[in-house]
Amino acid sequence: MATPIQASVRYYRRGVTKVLWVPTVATLSAPTRPELTAATDLADEVSAMSGWQTTSGTVPTPALGSRFTPVVNGEITAPDSSLTFWASKTAADVRTLLIREAVGVIAWLDEGDVPGQTMDLFRVSVSAASKVRELDGAAQIMAQFAITAEPAENVEIPDA
């Protein structure tokens, strides 16, 4: 009999996941605790998120001797990504931090800031921080990001 996969400990993301704006990370695959300490924790103001994952394409490799066309792994891409924040009536909100063309790193600590667990890091440039205008919704700001380098996925969170 095959060995079953380890059972997951399921969790509800709100109140657990941290998302950080890190001004600088020297080595994306090995951030330091001082770099994370210098970050801004965005989680309490995030109302929605989109993207923040990688996808892989495939490349067909046909051969004349077969009607079947196998494929091999191809390019790795990251879709357009955004974070939506609550806007402040005083304008003292994310607009003062995530200004157009600001560069930094978005770090996703999905299971919280727990040393030894993992996080994903995305080197980004802020492409826009636009006001979301709706008739009956609370005011929001949507920050859009260009992911400028291959993300570092499942990187160990350093000790505190």
Q: Each residue of 23-34: pLDDT tens digit?
A: 999 999 999 999
Structure token pair of residue 50: 């989109």
% of the chain exceeding 70 in pLDDT: 100
Angstrom distance (rounded) from CA 14 to CA 121: 19
Q: Name the pTM for this structure.
A: 0.92
Which residue, 81, 77, 79, is CA-closest to 46?
Answer: 81
**Long-range contact set of residues 130-137: C-beta below 8 Å, sequence gap at least 24:** 131/87, 132/84, 132/87
Neighbours of 68 (CB within 10 A): 7
Angstrom distance (rounded) from CA 160 to CA 158: 6
pLDDT band at 160 (very low <50, low <70, confident <90, very high): confident
Scanning 29-131, the segments in alpha helix (DSSP H) are 33-37
pLDDT digits (tens, 9 = 90+) for 69-85: 999 999 999 989 999 99
Give the CA distances from residue 11 to residues 8, 60, 61, 88, in Å, rounded to whole numbers and listed in that order. Answer: 9, 38, 41, 30
pLDDT digits (tens, 9 = 90+) for 7-50: 999 999 999 999 999 999 999 999 999 999 999 999 999 999 99
